[in-house]
Each structure stands twice: as C-alpha cells, then as structure tokens.
Amino acid sequence: MTFHHRAVPIVLTAILIDSIGFGIVMPVLPNLIVELSGVTLATATEIGVWMLAAYAAAQFFAGPIVGSLGDSIGRRPVILFSMIAFSIDYALLAVAPTVGWLFLGRVVAGLAGAVYGPANAVLADVTPSEKRGQVYSLMGAAFGGGFILGPGIGGMLADFGPRAPFIAAAVLAGLNAIWIIFALPETMTPEKRRPFKWKQAHIVGAFRPLVSESGAARWLILAAFCWQFAHMVYPATWAFWAEIALDWNPKMIGYSLTASGVAMVLVQALITGRAITRWGEENTVVIGMIAAGLVFTAFAFTSQGWIVFLLIIPSAFQGFVQPSINALVSRSVDASHQGAVQGGMQSLAAVAAIMAPLLLGYSLAIGTRNGFSGGNFVVAATIAFTALLIVLFRVRGKLLPRT
C-alpha cells in the first residue's frame, strides 16, 4: 500500500500498537488479579470491570486535554509522549506488586490512550478534506486489527506467565516511540497553532468551535454519541449473550469475535474509502447505520450459531460509520482546532464506554429472566435507528465545511 504522506503509516502503527496493548493483557488480567489479591475468579471479574471503567474515565478527561495540547505545541511531541508513557506503564505493570498498581496502570494507559485525538489530527493535517474519510477508514482498520491481534498474542504469551503480555506491550510501544523519534515529522505548522486554554480542554470546550459554526453540528455530535453507545453492545455484552442465547463456550465466542474483527478490518481497509469517494460521508453514515440497526435486530431474535456467522458479513458494513463521522467533524472545523475536536470525539466514546455496559447489560439480564435473550440488541437497535433518524433529518445536507 502506498501512503500519500510519510506520517500516515507511523500514526496508523501507533494506533495499532495502542489497541494491541489494550487487548494483549485481557486474557491474563483475571488470573493476575487472582494472583495478586487472592480473590475468586468471579470477584476478579468484577474488579476487572471497574478497571475498564477507570480506563474509560481517564480517556474521557484526557481526550480534549491531549487534543488541545496537539493544537498548541504540535502533534509529534504529544504522540511521542503517549507512546513513551505506554511503554513505561506496561513495564511497571509487568512487575506490579498489588491490584492497586494494576488500577493505576489502567488509568495511565487510559491517559496515554487519548492519543487518538492528535493522531486523527495528523491525518487531517496531511490529507485534503475530500479524502479524509478514506484515510480515517485506515485508522479504523488499524484500531480493529489491534483488537484482533492483541487478545491472540496475549493468549499465546500467557503460557510464559501472566506478566509476559505486559512485557510484550511495553516493548512494542517502546519500538514505536523510537520510530516516532526518528521518522515522524511535525504536521502542525507554527502559524496554525493556538495557545493552550483550559476552558477548551474539556468535552464542552472541545466542541465549541464545531457547534458555533452550524446548528447541524450539534445534531452530528448527538448522532455520534448514540452510535458509539449502540455499538458498545459488542464489547459490553457479546460474550454473555452468546453463552445465554447460543450456549457457546469460550472457544466459539473467540472464533466469532475473530471472524467479526477480520470482516470489519477488511471492509475498513478495502471498501469504506471507495464507498466514501463514490457516495460521500453523509450517505455512507446512513448506509452503515442502516446495516447496524438491521443486524442488531436480527441478532436479538437469533438462536442458531450458523446464523451469527452469516450476519457477520453485513454487520461489517457498520465500519462505514465512524470514519465518515470523523471526516465530517474534521471538515467542519479549521486546522487549529482539529486536535481538540477529535479529542472531544474520544471523550464521547469514553462516556459511551462507561454508560452503555450498564444499560445494555441490564437489558440482557432483565430480558433473559423473562424468557427473551435479545434485550441488549433490541436496545442497541433502537439507539442505532435513533442516530440514523438524527442524521437523515438534522444533519444530512446541513453541515458547513471549514477545511
């Protein structure tokens, strides 16, 4: 693959390593918690859920701050610092003596993981506005690829002990930091930088330049949040739903997640960019949300495993949505606010990651108690179709491009 700017493969690799680092430790985290605390596996699972919440909360607060720093001092030092922080964090976790250290490590990883804001801003800096959707689809492919590779690598390294994946994650992040030092150019020119202001370094301030230009932008933000909330049905409830509705064991659940991830990456890498070029970002958002709503509805009433694997194919076209939204957001603000706005988008995703598991998880539990195992997907479909209606009637054709 030929990239149009040398910064692109470096930034995509940073995102790939970030998502690998998140997923690589998941297979060993329960056992490591048990080892450090002496609790049962069930209790360790509950502790692990709170660690995920701490990670998401850290990203919520850090996203606009890190993004605004990228607008102020440049993208390169922020991305480099994040990778160095990742490497040090995972190295410390490899020798963590208590569960408290694991919590601290997850918080630091969440703070460093706010690199998505400046990373997306780099892509906006070096890409013409009409081609950003294509490049953001590669970002989605890198992110999804990491979530496929991470758990698999972590599972293999688990044979060497529960701390081995942390060492591997530290090494990967360190190597990427070295690549950034020697190869990543600064893409934020001095004349486009703006002073760092705390009043813009939070989710409301981050979106102020966007919503001040167009009323439709407010609706786009709401649609993006609804989408991110609905899409959390997979990481939040898939394993539980598959065991309840399909009587799958962990191996089958793993196969299904791998198949879904591969399909999503293929669509992101090979189809999404072409679709955006042909139909435009607003139309590809609509197509992706329709696919999501229909697939969520189908999953709600599915009781046969083979049907799930068939549905994975159309479900992959959900991959149209996030790159298209990122491109629309990017085009709606000027260069000096790209990092802040993309950091705000990351904060939205973090809010969804905190709230969605509660609503979707309880929907699955309540439905199951009443003889229906698809309550989580009914809720997800309802929210996805709500996002679709917002885009159709409040966003489509109403955004004002700035870049």
Write out pLDDT tens, residues 3-56. Answer: 778 899 999 988 888 888 777 776 677 778 888 888 776 677 667 767 877 888
Higher per-residue confidence, 149 vs 335: 149
What is the number of H-type helices and E-type strands within the chain? Answer: 18, 0
Beta strands, E only, 115-245: none
Among the residue ranges 186-200, 273-287, 367-381, the one predicted with the least confidence is 186-200
Contact 369, 90 (CB under 8 A): no
- Residue found by looking up tokens 């194919």 in the block: 313
Mean of pLDDT values over 197-224: 69
What lies within 8 Å, CB to CB, of 157 at 6+ separation is 24, 28, 164, 165, 168
Query: How much of the chain exceeds pLDDT 70, in percent?
Result: 88
Residue 67's alpha-carbon distances to 148, 203, 336, 403, in angstroms, are 26, 11, 11, 18
Spatial distance between the Cα atoms of 26 and 192, rounded to a whole number of angstroms: 40
Spatial distance between the Cα atoms of 192 and 205, rounded to a whole number of angstroms: 19
* 314 CB-contact burial (10 Å; exposed 0-12 / middle 13-18 / buried 19+): middle
* Structure confidence at residue 190 (pLDDT): 86
Mean of pLDDT values over 116-122: 85
Write out pLDDT tens, residues 235-263. Answer: 778 877 888 899 887 678 767 877 888 88
Judge whether residue 203 has pLDDT over 80. no
Q: Residue 304: phi, psi to the nearest 5?
A: -115, 130
* Structure confidence at residue 171 (pLDDT): 93
Contact 228, 386 (CB under 8 A): no
* Structure confidence at residue 87 (pLDDT): 92
Look up residue 373 and give its two tokens.
Answer: 């195992």
* Structure confidence at residue 78 (pLDDT): 92
Average pLDDT across the chain, whole number: 84
Among the residue ranges 104-118, 272-286, 342-356, 365-379, the one predicted with the least confidence is 342-356
* pLDDT level of residue 209 (50, 70, 90 thresholds): low
Spatial distance between the Cα atoms of 338 and 157, rounded to a whole number of angstroms: 38
SS3 assignment, position 295? helix
What b-and-e string marks burial along 129-168, b requiring 16 or more CB atoms within 10 Å of the CB? eeebbbbbbbbbbbbbbbbbbbbbbbeebbeeebbbbbbb
Among the residue ranges 18-22, 120-124, 207-211, the one predicted with the least confidence is 207-211
Contact 91, 167 (CB under 8 A): yes
Contact 303, 246 (CB under 8 A): yes
Mean of pLDDT values over 151-167: 82
